[in-house]
Structure 1
Amino acid sequence: MAYKGLLKEIPVDGTTYKYFDLTALNDSRYDELPISIRYLLEAAIRHCDGFHVLESDVETILNWKQSQKAQSEIPFKPARVILQDFTGVPAVVDLAAMRDAVQKMGADPSRINPVCPVDLVIDHSIQVDHYGE
């Protein structure tokens, strides 16, 4: 892991958590990044394995001001996806269809799952037409 030196620990209520301390980069380019780009940088460093995410990907993000003028791709590996009902229901239907197809082929349908954790939020408003009668 190229950025192992950035991995720190913090104890909270008896539990120790690990995080990447991006300030330990000691890189002035980090200080100039907008917060949204810092999130992408942290994710790239966390997933930097030399295969899926390369050190050059991290450098592309650090060079954001120069990179934004050129067309650059950066890896995006979210830790969690939150779907509202409008986008989540089609995803659930697609998963169900894929599981059915896998089962028909004789394989284990429980192997069909999202790669990262997904939360589906269904939030419907209720309108009251009459009350207190």
Structure 2
Amino acid sequence: MFSAKFLLAALSFAAVPSSLTLGGELASSSIIACTGTINPPDGCATISVVSASCINLTGDLSSLNNAVSWVQVPDGLVCTFFQDRDCRNGGVNADDVIVLEGGTWDMSDVQGIGGPQNFSGQTSSISCSPR
């Protein structure tokens, strides 16, 4: 027979979405980035993310470098997209970085630091963290 504490703990664990944090760290998660459309998928790749790690679009991801036109970010994540490699930006008022939360985004019309902007074909690195 199961104790009430065991059942409550098991139900609590089962209710945690995979894109949220466990012990302060990002649970296994990924984003989708496309060089074409996201629906129907065209030139799409799944990118595994680790909290606060910089992902350069090189190697297996080089086809996405300066070519991302659509992205899908899971709920519970906030991702920063950078024009430069190594997740560098030009400063507080720079137009070379955007921050997107959970949802599907057309990179040609996103909110940048200075207002709406076209960030299609500009991403060279990405960093994601739990929201």
Q: What's the TM-score, normalizing by structure 2? A: 0.20
1 or 2, which has the higher helix percentage? 1
1 or 2, which has the higher strand percentage? 2
Task: Indicate the structure (1 or 2) with the bigger Cα radius of gyration.
Answer: 1
Q: What's the TM-score, normalizing by structure 1? A: 0.20
